[in-house]
Amino acid sequence: MASTRGFGIDIGGSGIKGCVVDLDAGALDGERVRIPTPQPSTPDAVAGVVADIVKQFGWDGPIGVTLPCVIKKGTAYTAANVDKAWIGTDAASLFAARLGVDVRQVTVLNDADAAGMAEMRYGVGRDRDGVVVLLTFGTGIGSALFQHGKLVPNTEFGHLEVDGHDAEKRAAASVKDEKGLSWHEWSERVSKYLRTLEGLIWPDLVIAGGGVSKKADHWLPLLDVRTEVVAAALKNDAGIVGAAAAAYEGIAH
């Protein structure tokens, strides 16, 4: 029997990735296409890349697109690591126009929310009850919050204040690289950030995502926190998978 398929695109500060997704397995159906994010990453320039990726696959059907922004009813209200011109942009209508499809065919959601949805459905969050938080450690820190499996959209836990600093300016994976921090030094910063988060929402599970999750064995054992912290199962594919699933189900926040 043919599998249920969807299409997801994950827009980040450095790259835009897209692929057909096998929604039964929660995995990419083929090789993903990655194109560097245009600089400047204006809405029009990014929409052009999105249209190019969809065209390469010849996809005809619902499309899910993630953005590193707070998204409400298809409109972006913040812009993290993309051009500030995204703020106030009706992203769903923009993508629909460039793709030549009805706006109802396009679902736009926050990138961390999409990754979290994928992990809760197909990954390490599956069948986990209580309060679960997915954190994506990359250029910044993205977050997705779930209560008994239900998403609370558009949390911005990466911007918690820790020691007078925006948390992601101290504990994002990019900071480790920029400052040449050892795994031990960086894990201390992550621990302090997680302890701040623990004091606010008392999570039952933290899922660590983003590119650095591929090296989880280097730093997860070094964390000094009370909450169970596990590496994301879908790694960097989570955003694409979650976006495709959201579009197939017509989920919009």
Tokens matching residue 251: 């989920």
pLDDT tens column, 39-52: 999 999 999 999 99
Is 247's pLDDT higher than 80?
yes
Tokens matching residue 53: 């990726």
- What class does CATH assign to 126-232? alpha beta
Q: 111-122 vs 238-249: helix axis angle to the nearest 10?
A: 90
pLDDT value at residue 252: 62
What would the CATH number be for the domain defined by 5-113+237-249?
A: 3.30.420.40
pLDDT tens column, 105-152: 999 999 999 999 999 999 999 999 999 999 999 889 999 999 999 999
Q: Cite the residue boundaries of each domain of the chain with CATH code 3.30.420.40.
A: 5-113+237-249, 126-232
pLDDT value at residue 31: 97
- Please state the rounded mean pLDDT for residues 25-35: 97
DSSP H or E stretch at residue 208:
strand 205-209
pLDDT tens column, 129-138: 999 999 999 8
Are 3 and 24 within 8 A, CB to CB? Answer: yes
Burial profile 203-242: b = 16 or more Cβ within 10 angstroms, e = fewer? bebbbbbbebbeebeebbeebebebebbbbbbbbbbbbbb
- Please state the rounded mean pLDDT for residues 218-243: 96
Distance CA(18)–CA(7), nearest Å, equals 7
User: By three-state DSSP, how is residue 105 classified?
Assistant: helix
